[in-house]
Amino acid sequence: MSEPIRYKRVLIKVSGESFCQAGGFGIHPAAVASLVKELLPVIEMGVEVAMVVGGGNFVRGKDLAADPRIQRATADYMGMMATVINALSLQDTLESHNIPTRVMGAIAMTAICEPWIRRRAVRHLEKGRVVILAAGTGSPFVTTDTCAALRASELNAEVVLKGTKVDGVFDSDPMLNPTARKYDRLTYRKVLADALGVMDLTAISMCMERKLPIVVFELLKPGNLLGAVCGKGIGTLIAE
Ligand code: UDP
């Protein structure tokens, strides 16, 4: 028997680091292929998938603007451009598997993507197209985590699936502390109160207000994404 689908419409947040080799820079086609490999079974199950892509493999506004010669807003727009590059690589890789996709950009780039129009995005999802959301919110001073919470709310997605390098939220950095303890479940309030660095606090508060669950999980661990979509207790669930 096939897996029961827990969520029918999901918003997957993929960081820029998933588009390159560990600790690397730019686009590494094999890394994008690994990501798509995890997406395929979910898409083939008929789950409606919207994706927000980060851009940290090229530019993070905050880091670039540490140099006083580049303004934070400018650096953030550069970061948004970076997400567009990632979105296009994801689009082609998905389409190489005959998965229909649309890239929708929050900044007008008519030659390469559609503009973000909520009702049109919903229509794409209903038609089984993967909607790849590029250029974040189109506004500086936030990150793609906030964009994920915002677009998930707009699209009535049932969950935000936040893919990371580690298997959920820990009480300390598991990369540095081998005894770090993983949380199976957390409340939004605990994440906010303890400032657990899992997602932007703006994104967490937006999800809290909308009662939108977040699953933080290891994106590239085989079968994890599918498990998260099926509500199999993968990673850490953040909810009320
Ligand atoms: N960014 C922005 N507004 C948005 C989304 C992104 O200004 O709505 C900029 C910001 O500078 C951010 C960069 O784009 O650092 C890349 O996005 P992010 O850091 O979220 O990428 P990730 O860490 O997920 O790879």
79 lines ligand 1 (CB under 6 A): yes
Give the percent of the chain with pLDDT over 90: 91
- Domain assignment present for 188: no
Question: Residue 21: pLDDT above 60?
Answer: yes
- Domain assignment present for 130: yes
State how many domains the chain has: 1
Residue 234: predicted pLDDT: 96
> For residue 143, what are the β-bridge partners?
none
Residue 174: predicted pLDDT: 85
86 lines ligand 1 (CB under 6 A): no
- Domain assignment present for 50: yes
Residue 3: predicted pLDDT: 58
Residue 80 three-state SS: helix
227 lines ligand 1 (CB under 6 A): no
From the list 121, 139, 134, 145, the residue with the least C-alpha distance to 206 is 145
Residue 197: predicted pLDDT: 83
Give tens-digit pLDDT for 222-232.
999 999 999 99
Question: Residue 1: pLDDT above 60?
Answer: no
Ranges of H-type helices in 50-177: 61-64, 72-95, 118-126, 144-154
Which ligand 1 atom is at minimum distance from the Cα of 146?
8
143 lines ligand 1 (CB under 6 A): yes
CATH code of 95's domain: 3.40.1160.10
Residue 139 CA to ligand 1 centre (angstroms): 10
Question: Residue 172: pLDDT above 70?
Answer: yes
| Mutational pocket test of ligand 1: of 71, 143, 199, the residue with most ligand atoms within 8 Å of the beta carbon | 143
168 lines ligand 1 (CB under 6 A): no
Residue 97: predicted pLDDT: 98
- Domain assignment present for 135: yes
Which ligand 1 atom is at minimum distance from the Cα of 135?
5
Contacts of residue 62, Cβ cutoff 8 Å, sequence gap at least 6: 72, 75
163 lines ligand 1 (CB under 6 A): no
- Domain assignment present for 88: yes
Residue 4: predicted pLDDT: 63
Give tens-digit pLDDT for 46-83.
999 999 999 999 999 999 999 999 999 999 999 999 99
What is the C-alpha to C-alpha distance for residues 67 and 151, in angstroms, rounded to an integer? 31
Give tens-digit pLDDT for 184-201.
999 999 999 998 888 999
- Domain assignment present for 179: no
Domain ranges, residue 160: 9-166+195-235
Residue 211: predicted pLDDT: 97
Residue 2: predicted pLDDT: 59
Mean pLDDT score of the chain, rounded to an integer?
96
pTM value is 0.96
Q: Residue range 94-103: average pLDDT? A: 98
Which ligand 1 atom is at minimum distance from the Cα of 77?
7
Question: Residue 165: pLDDT above 80?
Answer: yes
Residue nearest (by alpha carbon) to ligand 1 atom 18? 54
- Domain assignment present for 4: no
- Domain assignment present for 101: yes
